Structures are given as structure tokens and as C-alpha cells.
């Protein structure tokens, strides 16, 4: 089951809250640009943001399976999977893994809430 250090998850949660609480980014309409790439465009506009960089650093230092577990924890918190479906979610997460896990997480609206809910599903909280 969940083998991630919950303190690391709490650090990601805190940085995600800090990053996403900043002034909302407005993405300009660029003729010929793909519309489905909005999340990566938002992150590209904030490439020098310290919160984003801290999350990238910590996630990039994780082993790929730990990155997958972090994403699956978010999925559980979002309601895509139940705790009992952990193994199935891990299989799906492994198939979807990319080296841009931090960007995927940080471009997800409410990622901090989802990670917090995922921790709670396993009986952990950031207030421990």
C-alpha cells in the first residue's frame, strides 16, 4: 500500500497551496496553438517560480514508483479510485508515468486538496 513519506506529501501539499494561491494566470489566445496544452502553458509562464521549482526538485528526486504513488494518492483523493483499488491504480499510474510528474501534479486544480484527501483515506494527515 502507501509507502510514501507522508511528511514529503505534506510538503508538496503546502507548496501546491502556496503556488496555486498566487494571482491567477490568464493565458493569451495564440493563433495556431493547441488548446489542450493550457496546463503546461501555465507552468511555462511560471518556470522561475520558487514554489514550483521546490516541488519539481522534490518530485524529481523521487524514484519513478514513488512518483506514481504520489499521483495515485491524488487520484484517490479526487475520487478516481478507492483505497481498495490501490493495486489497479498503481498499474494505471505506471502506464501513464512520465518524467514530468511534478508538472502534471502542479497543473491539476485543487491538487493540494486531493492529496490531503488521499492521505486521509489512508489515515494520515498533515497535522500529525
**Position 1 confidence tier, pLDDT thresholds 50, 70, 90:** low
Tell me the pLDDT tens digit for each residue of 84-108. 999 999 999 999 999 999 989 998 9
For the cut 60, the answer to whether the pLDDT of residue 82 exceeds it is yes
| Joined grid coordinates for residue 84 | 481498495
**11-33 in b/e burial notation, b at 16+ Cβ within 10 A?**
ebbebbebbbeeeeeeeeeeeee
Q: What's the first-to-final CA gap in the chain, in angstroms?
A: 20
* Segments forming the whole domain that contains residue 80: 6-121
What are the pLDDT digits (tens) for 56-80? 999 999 999 999 999 999 999 999 9
Mapped onto helix, strand or coil, the DSSP state of residue 80 is coil
- Considering the domain boundaries, does residue 12 fall inside one? yes
Q: Based on the structure, what is the number of domains in the chain? A: 1
State residue 82 phi and psi, 5-degree precision.
-100, 160
pTM of the model: 0.80
Identify the pLDDT of residue 2.
76
**Residue at 96 is within a domain:** yes
Structural domain contains residue 127 = no
Asked if the structure places residue 41 within a domain, the reply is yes
Amino acid at each position: 500500500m502507501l509507502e510514501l513519506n507522508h511528511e514529503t506529501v505534506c510538503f508538496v501539499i503546502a507548496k501546491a497551496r502556496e503556488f496555486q494561491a498566487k494571482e491567477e494566470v490568464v493565458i493569451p489566445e495564440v493563433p495556431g496553438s493547441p488548446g489542450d496544452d493550457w496546463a503546461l502553458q501555465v507552468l511555462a509562464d511560471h518556470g522561475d517560480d520558487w514554489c514550483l521549482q521546490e516541488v519539481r526538485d522534490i518530485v524529481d528526486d523521487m524514484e519513478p514508483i514513488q512518483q506514481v504513488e504520489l499521483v495515485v494518492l491524488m487520484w484517490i483523493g479526487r475520487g478516481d479510485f478507492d483505497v481498495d483499488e490501490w493495486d489497479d491504480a498503481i498499474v494505471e499510474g505506471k502506464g501513464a508515468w512520465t518524467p514530468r510528474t511534478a508538472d502534471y501534479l502542479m497543473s491539476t486544480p485543487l491538487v493540494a486538496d486531493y492529496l490531503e484527501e488521499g492521505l486521509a483515506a489512508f489515515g494520515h494527515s498533515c497535522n500529525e
